[in-house]
Amino acid sequence: MNDYPYISQIKSPEDVKGLPPEALSPLCEELRRFLVEKVTARGGHLASNLGAVELTVALHRVFSSPEDHVIFDVGHQSYVHKILTGRADRFDALRTPGGLSGFPRRAESAHDPFGTGHSSTSVSAALGFAEADALRKKDAYTVAVVGDGAFTGGMIHEALNNCRRDLRLVIVLNDNEMSISKNIGLFARYLSRIRISRKYRATKTRTRNFLSHIPLLGKGMTALLSKTKSAIKRRVYRDNYFEELGLIYLGPVDGHDVRALEKAFAEAKARECAVVVHVRTVKGKGYAVAENDPTAFHGVPSAPAENAQEGSPDTFHSVASQMLCALARRDEAICAVTAAMGEGTGLSAFGEKYPERYFDVGIAEEHALTFSAGLCAAGMKPYFAVYSTFLQRAYDNLLHDVALQGLPVRILVDRAGLAQADGATHHGIFDVAFASHIPNVRILTPACYGSLCAMLISSQNVNNCLLIRYPNSAEDERVHALFYPEEDFTEYGVRAVGLEGAEAVLIAYGNAVSAALDAMLLLGKSGVRVGMILLEALAPYAETAERVLPLLPVGAPVIFVEEGIRGGGAGMLLEAALRLQIKSPSDLSYTTLAIDGHFAEGEAGVPLPASCGIDAKAVASAVARALLAKETHGGRENREQNV
């Protein structure tokens, strides 16, 4: 930390308060250098944090964490907050299992009062803190730092609808005109009117200066002058959304001027009521490449090896996007829907080619799914691409608005499986379990690009809701070579290799396929013959069981591996379906390896799949235990027969 003299002496927000004003500019410069060094090395959210440097410094100069509660919406812009609250020395373990989380986390620090990771939750949580403090007669303040992109999500407005003016609540609208990509929609246009209204700001300043020079004429005159100023403001600019809700509005404020920010936050604090402070920031500020392309630097991977090839390989979502564009060229009913994740899901390419059939609805997964249902009911063929972790937010819409009505909405579930760096808030390990129990839902899980394309082709004519889920990675080329040697991907669903003479059988889907293949190699070196069944179709499980059952060698133990939760997961449901279809259910030796009873937060120094008990070594050990149990059970049966 020798290169960072200011950061090295900051152990708590009180140290930030103690800095003289002339130290703030060099501190902010240090913070930016620190972020660029650590985030480009470890990976993480860069542009959003660079844009929030002065804002966060000013917050900690005015408010007193943890007595005052600072809550970051999403939390991907909280790195500076972590540095200023004594966690700078942990950044070498940023976004690693057991290391420093890339999001606020209650278990990590008292300065993280509320864990976040998804958008638009902060004001609801902050409102809860503020109401609790009011009930307990505490004079603490609650501060919610909210990006303008979060205002495309309905929860923000639901919370504002319940916000009382007399609460000690400060909502900082961090306005950089972006989520990951450029914000769209009516609220984004509304904010742009506030930004560009120089006439309003100039008139406001002149009015304030004029009123301040009139001698004090008592409370009545002061109130009259305040009403006059408000009337002038409304005359020049019309009404303000936040003020119409009964909140005090301050701003816009230059988000890279620490002194202006301190002044605005101090004024908000002095009001002792609910205030919105509108702050204008530049995403990627101070790092030229990030300023010029904030979308590319929203999230950056860890530093690549020096000999890495230029260019990025295909991934499942890039292949899905390419195929969807090809299908849309021939079928004008195909539409693409995203919830502010056009870049992340690869759908932005579709938007460039077919803008009239591309719908970015903002950070509103619930709306996106019901909107897709409406498109579908009206005869279109919508494809909604969404991260698994964000699909959780639209469970009711999936059940009630799509499946119950038998509407064939196609859902492309991206980032399925463990999120190695983003952690528990972003794991895609629940979608199989919660979708499997909904009638009229089919779940497909392509393990290679060829089967993904085949699924998309056939998806054009489905009659019910279809989930096609895939990981945030490239395909494991071994899958293609082993399971589709003849390049015919149309017969996807259940594929098998090495079952003849197999002592045990592995069944896997998704990311777990690679772990199962690695386990086969480990076991093969030990002389154990293991076959494998690749599942690329899950629900309905009765249909899958019908295809799996004839493939199982008699007496061979079955080990099911999945990168998902055990309870209600594919392993559990397939076992139940198999036992219903076989004559002697007790003859089936079946073990499921899955994530059991925890949120997969990981352990320091342990690869995440290993800590979850679903890596290759865990699979090989499970096979060895099953074979030992079979041998022991067989020996006992022979002794019983002899008796």
Residue 110 CA to residue 124 CA, distance in Å, equals: 20
List the catalytic residue out of 30, 54, 177, 365: 365
Whether 386 contacts 339, CB under 8 Å: yes
Residue 359 CA to residue 502 CA, distance in Å, equals: 50
Q: Provide φ and ψ at 639, rounded to 5°.
A: -65, -40
**Nearest residue to 394 (alpha-carbon basis) of 419, 425, 367, 430:** 367
List the catalytic residue out of 283, 285, 415, 495: 283
Whether residue 365 lies in the annotated active site: yes
Residue 511 contacts by C-beta under 8 Å, 6 or more apart in sequence?
A: 416, 417, 418, 471, 473, 563
Token pair recorded at residue 568: 């209600």
Whether 442 contacts 540, CB under 8 Å: yes
Token pair recorded at residue 68: 């005052």
Side-chain-side CA neighbours of residue 543 (13 Å): 12
Whether residue 393 lies in the annotated active site: yes
**Nearest residue to 55 (alpha-carbon basis) of 245, 280, 216, 225:** 280
Q: Is 410 exposed, middle or buried (0-12, 13-18, 19+ CB in 10 A)?
A: buried
User: Within 10 A of 343 (CB to CB), how many other CB atoms are there?
Assistant: 17
Residue 634 CA to residue 630 CA, distance in Å, equals: 6
| DSSP assigned state of 133 | H
**Nearest residue to 273 (alpha-carbon basis) of 296, 250, 241:** 250
Q: Could you give the angle at the alpha carbon of 365 between the alpha carbons of 437 and 292, nearest 5°?
A: 140
Measured on CA atoms in the order 261, 267, 271, 276, is the torsion positive or negative?
negative
User: Within 10 A of 272 (CB to CB), how many other CB atoms are there?
Assistant: 12
Regarding beta strands 494-497 and 530-535, do their DSSP bridges make them parallel or antiparallel, or are they unpaired? antiparallel
Residue 208 CA to residue 133 CA, distance in Å, equals: 33
Residue 523 CA to residue 519 CA, distance in Å, equals: 6
Residue with tokens 């986390």: 105
Residue 545 CA to residue 508 CA, distance in Å, equals: 14
Provide the 3-class DSSP secondary structure of residue 505. Answer: strand
DSSP string, 534-588: EESB-SSHHHHHHHHGGGSPTT--EEEEEEEESTTSHHHHHHHHHHHHSS-GGG-
List the catalytic residue out of 42, 393, 469, 495: 393
Whether residue 14 lies in the annotated active site: no
Alpha helices in 214-315 (DSSP H): 219-237, 241-244, 258-271, 288-292
Token pair recorded at residue 446: 């392509």
User: Within 10 A of 499 (CB to CB), how many other CB atoms are there?
Assistant: 16
Active site residues: 283, 365, 393
